[in-house]
C-alpha cells in the first residue's frame, strides 16, 4: 500500500527567502506525485504533479518540486517566499500500477508560515 510522510508540521520562513516543504513516499510500483495547497476554509488547489520525465517539475505560483527516486522524496520548493504563500500544503501519491479508481493517498499536511 502507498503512503506519504510530511515530517514537518510547520515551516517558518521569512519573506524573500527560499522555502522547502518536505515529502517522502512509499509505493509498490512507480509513483505519481502531487502537491496541493489549501487556504483557510477553502478546498485544495492543485499546484503541480510528477508523472514521468524531468525530475524537476514546475507548477503554479512559482513553485517547483524535485523528484528523487533514490531518496523516495518529492520536496516542494520556491526560490523566494511571499507572505501570501502562507497556507497548508499537502503532498499526495498514487501508485502507477493502480489502474482502478486511482486512489490518492495524502500526507498530513505542512503549515507554511511566511513572515514579512
Partner 1 sequence: SQTIHQWPATLVQPVGSPLSLECTVEGTSNPNLYWYRQAAGRGLQLLFYSVGIGQISSEVPQNLSASRPQDRQFILSSKKLLLSDSGFYLCAWRLEQRGSTDTQYFGPGTRLTVL
Q: Can you give the C-alpha Rg of the chain in angstroms? A: 14
Residue 101 touching partner 1 (CB under 8 A): yes
Which parts of 15-44 interact with partner 1 (CB under 8 A)? 32, 34, 36, 41-44
Q: Grid coordinates 503532498 are at which residue?
A: 91
Torsion 108-9-3-76 (CA) sign: positive
- The least distance separating partner 1 from the CB of residue 16, rounded to whole angstroms, comes to 27
Rounded to an integer, what is the distance from CA 25 to the centroid of its chain? 11
- The least distance separating partner 1 from the CB of residue 8, rounded to whole angstroms, comes to 13
Q: What are phi and psi of 115, to 5 degrees?
A: -95, 145
Residue 107 touching partner 1 (CB under 8 A): yes
- Contacts with partner 1 by CB under 8 A lie at 32, 34, 36, 41-46, 49, 51, 88, 90, 99, 101-104, 106-109
Amino acid at each position: 500500500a502507498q503512503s506519504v510522510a510530511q515530517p514537518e508540521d510547520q515551516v517558518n520562513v521569512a519573506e524573500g527567502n527560499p522555502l522547502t516543504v518536505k515529502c517522502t513516499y512509499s509505493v509498490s510500483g512507480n509513483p505519481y506525485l502531487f502537491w496541493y495547497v489549501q487556504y483557510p476554509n477553502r478546498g485544495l488547489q492543485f499546484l503541480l504533479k510528477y508523472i514521468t520525465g524531468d525530475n524537476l517539475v514546475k507548477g503554479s505560483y512559482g513553485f517547483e518540486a524535485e523528484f528523487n527516486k533514490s531518496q523516495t522524496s518529492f520536496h516542494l520548493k520556491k526560490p523566494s517566499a511571499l507572505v501570501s504563500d502562507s497556507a497548508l500544503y499537502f503532498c499526495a501519491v498514487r501508485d502507477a500500477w493502480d489502474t482502478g479508481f486511482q486512489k490518492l493517498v495524502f500526507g498530513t499536511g505542512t503549515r507554511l508560515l511566511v513572515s514579512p
